[in-house]
Amino acid sequence: MNNDPVLVFNHIPKCYGQSLRVYFRAFMATHTDYEAGFACAEDHRRFAYDVSTLAADDLLIGHFTSSTMNLDERYPEVLSNPRFRLFTFVRDPLDRQISQYYYSFRSGRNRKGVTMEEHPLAKVLSTASNSIAGAFPCNEENCEEMLSRYFFVGVTDRVQESMRVLVERIWRIYSEAPRTRAVERMLSSLEKVRNRGLPHENRAKRDTQADAVSAEVLETFRRNNVVDYKIYQIAQRRLDADLAELGLA
């Protein structure tokens, strides 16, 4: 039985996750667990990883966000066994939703075959409701408690600071762990990545719709996404506290 610490990244869509995947792939075995790699959702459900075999140089990544992919159903061990260390990134809810919108139309049409003209951004913003909260999942009452399960919550809009804190936090986790070979490898790699530049993958092309969203639509969006804004603020505060604690401010 392996007792190494293992990193688990809950990839909330359009929050810098693809870039992080590239970043970690340079020095870790990235166990990606996305439905997209499978023939169908049922296959994805059937073929989960055996997380008990993961070690310190493994990283489990997925959108553990949908009803079929919630961590407590797919990998309950990740939540119950303290050797698994969860982290995630969140983003300004409006920016995230706009980014999600353009990403969904990256090939001209979205998955339902609809064009941007048929499904404008303003309409999406008017109906979107707490997507980030849905990804954890949590609500206004328990979002603070839910976030506390994560050793780190990055803020995409502050990616440089977030990455400095993340690498430092990971460093501490491994430096406090029993020195297995995988832990030694990770510590050696972390020394090298500390000064490495950050990638930016998966950037979606945009038109001018985002610049022309009306004040009324923005107000509706804010009203309908109160929990997401609360999560975002908690993440900001945690990042500030982390920066201060680690002497990185």
Partner 1 sequence: MGVATMNQTSSLDSAREPALIYHAITGIEGRELTGFLHRVFVVVQDENYELGGLPTRPQEIHPIDPHTLSAIKLFTFRGHGLPREVTLRGTYPEFFQDPRFLVMTFIADPLRSAAHAYGWYAAQDDGRPKMSFAEFLRGRKPNLYADALQCRWWNWRSVLGKYFFLGVHEESVKSLAVLGPKIEREFARRAQTPNVARARYFLGRYLANPETADAEASVEIDARVRDLSAGEVEAFRRRNRLDYRIYEYARRQLDRDAQATAEMEMAAA
Work out the number of other CB atoms within 10 angstroms of the CB of residue 183.
Answer: 20
SS3 203: coil
User: Quick check: helix, strand or coil at residue 217?
Assistant: helix
Question: Per CB under 8 A, does 29 bind partner 1?
Answer: yes
**Tokens 């945690």 — which residue?**
238
Judge if the upstream peptide bond of residue 120 is cis by omega within 30 degrees of 0.
no
Cβ closest to partner 1, residue 185 vs residue 222: 185
DSSP state of 109: B
Q: Does 179 bind partner 1 (CB under 8 A)?
A: no
**Applying CB under 8 A, which part among 76-84, 126-134, 158-166, 181-189 lies near partner 1?**
181-189
Q: Is the dihedral of CA 91, 103, 64, 54 positive or negative?
A: negative
HSE, side-chain direction, 13 A CA sphere, residue 92: 8
Determine which residue in the list 106, 179, 181, 237 makes contact with partner 1, applying CB under 8 A: 181
In the complex with partner 1, the residue whose CB is nearer, 53 or 81, is: 53
Residue 177 is a binding residue for partner 1 (CB under 8 A):
no
Size of the site for partner 1 (CB under 8 A): 32
What is the Rg, in whole angstroms, of the alpha carbon atoms belonging to the chain?
Answer: 19
| 200 contributes a contact to partner 1 by CB under 8 A | no
Examine residue 30 and tell whether it contacts partner 1 (CB under 8 A).
yes
Distance CA 23, CA 21 (A): 5
Decide whether 120 or 199 has the Cβ nearer to partner 1: 199
Site for partner 1 in 4-23 (CB under 8 A): 4
By CB under 8 A, residue 76 contacts partner 1: no
Q: Which is nearer to partner 1, 63 or 185 (CB)?
A: 185
Q: Which of residues 37-66 bind partner 1 (CB under 8 A)?
A: 37-39, 43, 46-50, 53-55, 57-58
Which lies closer to partner 1 via its Cβ, residue 55 or residue 234?
55
The residue length of the chain stands at 249
User: Rounded to whole angstroms, how far apart are CA atoms 146 and 234?
Assistant: 11
Amino acid at 62: G
- The least CB distance from residue 220 to partner 1, in Å, is 43
Instruction: Work out whether 171 is an interface residue with partner 1 (CB under 8 A).
Output: no
Q: Does 248 bind partner 1 (CB under 8 A)?
A: no
